[in-house]
Structure 1
Amino acid sequence: MTAELVRGQNHPLSQARLEIRVSADKPIVAGAALSDEHGKVHGAEWVAHPGTPTLPGLEVSRQAAADHRLAVDLGAMPEAVHRISVLLALPTGVAGPVRFGGLAAPFVAVTGLDGSEVASYTITGLEAESAVVALELYRRQGAWKVRAVGQGYAGGLAELLADQGMPEAHTLAGSINEAVVQGLARSVPAPPRTADGDRTRQTAAPAPGPDQGGTASQGAVPPQPPTSPYGAQGPGQPTSPYGAQGAQQGSTDPSGATQPSTPTAGGPVDYSHPSRQTTAPPPPPPIAPPAQPGQPQQPVAGDATGWSMDERLYNQVWGMFEDLARSMAAYRSAVDFAESRMEKELDQVLSDPRSRIGGQGDAAREAARAKHAQLVDQAQAVLDRDLAQLAAEADVVEPALPPAYARWDNPVWHGYRVPMEIPMALRLGDLHLPEAPQVSIPMLVRLPLERGLWIDSGRAGTIDGSYTDSHEVKRLAMDTAVAVAARLLAVYPAREFTVHVIDPAGSGGQALVPLVQSGVLAAPPAVGAAGVADVLARLTQRVDLVQMAVRGGAPDALPPGFDTAEQLLIVNDFPHGFDDRAVTQLRYLADEGPAVGVHLMMVADREEASGYGPLLDPLWRSLMRLTPVPDDHLADPWVGHAWTYEPSLVPAGSQVLQQVLQQVSAARTKYT
């Protein structure tokens, strides 16, 4: 039975391996401090945080998120550790709230690995505090207990760490915040959350795994669309609860809808559909035959909740992504536990002189290794089972994906027609983990884009440790940019998406041929310093005009003939052709543009641009980095795995890109 704790109350813990689950209204930093029997934290090596996420018997998330799962193995805790304090803090240096009083009360639960809840605590009464000790696990007479603490600190993480007796608390707090900023720059966008804090996912497995919680989602709150600067009620896109979308303008209300910086006259607009007043409908009944007893259910495409098949597939893809992350986290945790247990048993053998006589020592060592092998084999068997189920689900889901979610080699593109509505999301590539390359998950981001893209054209290493030729990487980077731009043009209705290109030296001419020849660009690629200045001036002016209209409460007061389409600017070979003014304008577009429909895609080598020094650091942090070759540079918002990203490129020799762009061009001409 779950113990619902109040501040100061404690509860015994009967399990050694636990998870601490944290749910918050907005992205927060989660960490843990280890202290001795006197409550003293002896140094930075006693604190687990995003920069140092793993300590003996403890692992925390590598980045800020609205949901966290901290893994704790009390049996692997060093003897000197008598207390584990769970720390929560609001990140600094990124957009977001500055005090807990402006958020819904954070919720913390201690659970077993099977998802069964042992104790929970809702941290109420916080006001000006920006950091809090949520709860603590502590030893008492040889047993472990959990206590609800809820001690807040208005001075933030530095004050909290100092109160824990941490030497150089301000230095450590600064390094934690820097790690969080870097983590946001490399994170994968996360899916929306349901009303009860769980994700819109209904797994096809007959029973939950040891790390999947054990309960099914009962329904989702329908996503609310962001306010359009033109007053249109486009398709929905709630803000990502994990902050992975980067810098945004305005604020986010509790429903997840992004609101403009200044409310329009007449109060906030209710964007909820009149027929969507309750929770989302249940998924359609499976069309596959029921599973035999003891066998997993056959996967079905679109078995998640949602209002349409596209929304159900979107939620199913993100459910697969989360399932794979959880399964791999459980496997790695089990292997780590097996290794730590074997090391502990071997240390005990070596520390006892009697075991060194005769064959006792050898027998003990063999027993420890055999137990280790047994535990690893058990973990591998569970992982293989989960991977087989996910692979079977991927085989069913991939062919059913709509064009916006599908690979370029998917037959769905052969029946492509220009859509009448904007889809929920867009596929930017694929993600997989090193232990499971056979299971590839589509990487989907919500539309409209809330964060620009940076296609890295610098010297790139491959997964096997070799390096790709620099000229080849630059070519692949432009191919990636063109493929993404073509996909954006294809999934928007006719004349609702406009693409501009800056190519100062003309080095991207070959890759840009499909866009140029099809006539889908707003104008020929801009070349030279004059072309750069002209395009940036026009887009900067556009951002200013729309911002003034929105802030003035008159989105219909834009000049006659104003192009209300979403705008994408592709910048190739940066910083060639850019002076200081142009760089400033580029930063302005990256920061202010997404909120008013102007998006940035940079094809650039970070090393070549380093000459600008720290001036460009905010720009790089505000963009999502993608690579033209497989690279493990993205992290998930749950357990911080390093995922290998593979770009979505058109197969060699395929004409699908040209055929799709021809249809887009024809539709644009028709509606001119």
Structure 2
Amino acid sequence: MTAELVRGQNHPLSQARLEVRVSAGRPIVAGATLSDEQGRVRGVEWVAHPGAPTLPGLEVSKQAAADHRLAFDLDALPGTVHRVSVLLALPTGVGGPVRFGAVAAPFVAVTGLDGSEVASYTITGLDTESAVVALELYRRQGVWKVRAVGQGYAGGLAELLTDQGLSEARQLAGSINEAVAQGLARSVSAPPPRSADTDRSRQAAASAPGPDQPYAGPQGAPGTVPPQSPYDAPGPQGATVPQSGYPGGPAQPDPSTVTQPSAPTGGPVNYSHPGRQAAAPPPPPPTAPPAAPGQPAQPVAGDATGWSMEERLYNQVWGMFEDLARTTAAYRSAVDFADSRLEQELDKVLSDPRSRIGGQGDAAREAAQAKRAGLVDQARAALDRDLAQLAAEAEVVEPALPAAYASWDNPVWHRYRVPMEIPMALRLGDLRLPESENLGIPMLVRLPLERGLWIDSGRAGLDDTLADSDELRRLAMDTAVAHAARLLAAYPAGEFTVHVIDPAGSGASCLAPLVRSGVLDAPPAAGAAGVGEVLARLTQRVDLVQMAVRGGVADSLPPDLDTAEQLLIVNDFPHGFDDRAVTQLRYLADEGPAVGVHLMMVADREDAAAYGPLLDPLWRSLLRLTPVPDDHLADPWVGHAWTYEPALVPPGSQVLQQVLSQVAAARRSWNR
């Protein structure tokens, strides 16, 4: 099973002997560097390139070519090596384009020795760059992984090698280019024929998907528009509207015929790129048992497309969401049509004085009412049929969900173990419609979070039968703690850090599970000094990471900087916050998510009315969630008002403490 990676995504490697295969539209240079635990290349002897293609544990191509096979034996690498970077560069001084933006997007794949693909990556989003770090093979807690990097350098190999800490970068880049130029002057035979099952080329750059189009992989790839969190755009009256269609798996256009360059006959080599074919179809999903004649097919968990069971279930959940939205829209449309037809027929009856009164008019009105009732009954029968099918599917899918997608009462949480990889998405609650109150669809948002969360502790839109203000504030904090625990449980050990600001200490009882378990690095910050210290620290982190990323020097961040994703829980806002703190919060909400700093506000918007419109941009940038059911979310197709129900821990359950204790133990082990 192949993992289609996007920039920044990683994937575990289960075997030590591997090949990295490169396919490009013109001759390129392929090489590799070895790095120590600090990410430094210790010298030219740690660089494999056409002039020195062999190092312990790896071998690269001796010349520029449109296709490469780089061999790796990770067990044979020196023990001081913790990372291997695969480099690609355009040759200089041999004519042709000297920037990746003018050539086809390179495709790289990690394969076993039998040719089976483990992971692949199409390097999109390059422009003026002439060298790029394509992949990293790195060691983490004794396990090797591959990460899609795609970091380009307009300064070519010299800039790339300098960025990796090599003092002799310019001299080495010159010798590499000289060796490549000599190699291009020699006659090179055509590559061997491709095998459809091994050295596959992929379609280079996918266009952004429309509302009903599938996407080609998880989010994050530059130059593509993956599905965002399904709740990204503000809708009418503050509703949050899903923007993009929910994915249906990798696109599968008809594969193009693979052609080969002809063998040289004394003239220049034909380096034309073979026809790229689409991504290979994903493994077949589970097959449902045959249905009885006239009966709908039995639902099966994971019968959507996808490259893994996790992705199939994700796609299936959002397919159920679409199905429920569309079948309900059809029902409402049918009812509207029946009402409109009834009005037309009644107007016709009333417009004729002869039938306005008397038995003839009564009969006409009864006939119109009967037609309306018949149309509505017919539409309701169709809706009930679809709801029954969706309910049957939900009964099969819910028990099969992984922990990140599952409700707190799902038995999968009792088998919870700290994961090695970040899941695709996280469940924040359930969504329902008035016509189907007994059917809830899991509300999944993609990870890492694209925007912060606002847990509303106010009474806006709630009726008087619900809890009082103090009870709502407690429920809001309980909801925030449950969401924070889910985020901690979804990330590998040491890759997610939670900070808490509780100026007056009013949330102490609700925060107790986080404090007692030890998953917090520090106690909740209280008072003006505590609030200022936490906000200043996180603001400085955002500034540092932004500058490092923009300057292309991400490896030069301070060694004491916590590189984990950060979550800041803010209780009782705006009480205890001065103007400077409010400005810092707005900055974190706007700039933080892009560099791994996320905000979770527990607040009543009416309490912030004294600030006037100053805080409106802050509220609009956050995803509003409620501690009690509330119909404030809308879908992008027909604008249904969906009722959101938070994912809360069942009363009396110990599952939250069990999960947090495992997370805390894993963090302690990781820190040692």
Q: TM-score, normalised by structure 2?
A: 0.61
User: Where does residue 548 of structure 2 map in the other structure?
Assistant: 549
Cα gap change, 1:543 to 1:277, in 2 (>3 Å): farther
The residue type paired with residue 223 of structure 1 is P
The residue type paired with residue 586 of structure 2 is R
Q: Take 1:304 and 1:547, find their aligned partners in 2: how far apart are those partners?
A: 38
The runs of 5 or more residues in structure 1 that have no matched partner are: 1-192, 201-218, 228-235, 247-251, 256-275
Q: Take 2:352 and 2:597, find their aligned partners in 1: how far apart are those partners?
A: 69
Q: Take 1:431 and 1:319, find their aligned partners in 2: how far apart are those partners?
A: 13
Q: Take 1:668 and 1:429, find their aligned partners in 2: how far apart are those partners?
A: 26
The residue type paired with residue 414 of structure 2 is H
| 1:438 alignment partner, SS class | coil
User: Where does residue 102 of structure 2 map in the other structure?
Assistant: none
The residue type paired with residue 558 of structure 2 is P
- Within a 5 Å distance, the mapping from 1:632-651 to structure 2 comes to 632-651=631-650
| 1:311 alignment partner, SS class | helix
| 1:506 alignment partner, SS class | coil
User: Where does residue 575 of structure 1 map in the other structure?
Assistant: 574
Q: Take 2:326 and 2:578, find their aligned partners in 1: how far apart are those partners?
A: 47
- Alpha carbons 2:215, 2:226 under 8 Å: kept: no
Q: CA deviation at 1:332?
A: 0.5
**Cα deviation code 1:320-360 (max 9, x no counterpart):** 00100001111011001100100110001000112236422
**Cα deviation code 1:392-420 (max 9, x no counterpart):** 00000000000000000000011100000
User: Where does residue 319 of structure 2 map in the other structure?
Assistant: 319
Q: CA deviation at 1:280?
A: 6.2
User: Where does residue 147 of structure 2 map in the other structure?
Assistant: none
4+ residue segments displaced more than 6 Å: 193-196
Q: Take 1:226 and 1:592, find their aligned partners in 2: how far apart are those partners?
A: 19
User: Where does residue 15 of structure 1 map in the other structure?
Assistant: none
- Alpha carbons 2:518, 2:664 under 8 Å: kept: yes
- Within a 5 Å distance, the mapping from 1:185-584 to structure 2 comes to 197=210, 199=212, 220-226=215-221, 238-240=226-228, 244=232, 278-279=278-279, 281-282=281-282, 284-356=284-356, 358-459=358-459, 466-584=465-583
Q: Take 1:526 and 1:497, find their aligned partners in 2: how far apart are those partners?
A: 18
Cα gap change, 1:388 to 1:242, in 2 (>3 Å): closer
Structure 2 residue 576 is matched with structure 1 residue 588 = no
Q: CA deviation at 1:240?
A: 2.2
User: Where does residue 620 of structure 1 map in the other structure?
Assistant: 619
**Cα deviation code 1:281-324 (max 9, x no counterpart):** 34634343111222101000011111110100001000000100
| 2:642 alignment partner, SS class | strand
Higher-Rg structure is 2
- Within a 5 Å distance, the mapping from 1:595-610 to structure 2 comes to 595-610=594-609
Q: Take 1:559 and 1:369, find their aligned partners in 2: how far apart are those partners?
A: 75
Structure 2 residue 667 is matched with structure 1 residue 668 = yes
Q: TM-score, normalised by structure 1?
A: 0.61
| Structural RMSD (CA) | 2.4
User: Where does residue 9 of structure 2 map in the other structure?
Assistant: none
Q: CA deviation at 1:563?
A: 1.1
Q: Take 1:243 and 1:665, find their aligned partners in 2: how far apart are those partners?
A: 31
Q: CA deviation at 1:278?
A: 3.5
Cα gap change, 1:338 to 1:541, in 2 (>3 Å): same
User: Where does residue 69 of structure 1 map in the other structure?
Assistant: none
Q: CA deviation at 1:442?
A: 0.3
The residue type paired with residue 395 of structure 1 is E
- Alpha carbons 2:494, 2:670 under 8 Å: kept: yes
- Alpha carbons 1:452, 1:590 under 8 Å: kept: yes
Q: Take 2:357 and 2:649, find their aligned partners in 1: how far apart are those partners?
A: 67
Q: CA deviation at 1:465?
A: 6.2
- Alpha carbons 2:573, 2:603 under 8 Å: kept: yes
Cα gap change, 1:627 to 1:196, in 2 (>3 Å): closer
- Alpha carbons 1:590, 1:600 under 8 Å: kept: yes
Q: Take 2:396 and 2:666, find their aligned partners in 1: how far apart are those partners?
A: 32
The residue type paired with residue 568 of structure 2 is L
| 1:435 alignment partner, SS class | helix
| 1:478 alignment partner, SS class | helix
- Structure with the bigger RCO (C-alpha within 8 Å, sep 6+) is 1
The residue type paired with residue 238 of structure 1 is P
The residue type paired with residue 335 of structure 1 is V
Cα gap change, 1:198 to 1:461, in 2 (>3 Å): closer
**Cα deviation code 1:403-455 (max 9, x no counterpart):** 00000000001110000000000000001001111110000000000110000
Q: Take 1:585 and 1:357, find their aligned partners in 2: how far apart are those partners?
A: 72
The residue type paired with residue 316 of structure 1 is Q
User: Where does residue 658 of structure 1 map in the other structure?
Assistant: 657
Q: Take 2:277 and 2:531, find their aligned partners in 1: how far apart are those partners?
A: 48
Q: Take 1:669 and 1:615, find their aligned partners in 2: how far apart are those partners?
A: 41
| 1:334 alignment partner, SS class | helix
User: Where does residue 106 of structure 2 map in the other structure?
Assistant: none
Q: Take 2:578 and 2:304, find their aligned partners in 1: how far apart are those partners?
A: 50
Q: CA deviation at 1:237?
A: 9.2
- Within a 5 Å distance, the mapping from 1:34-183 to structure 2 comes to none
Q: CA deviation at 1:626?
A: 0.5
Cα gap change, 1:578 to 1:379, in 2 (>3 Å): same
Cα gap change, 1:461 to 1:224, in 2 (>3 Å): closer
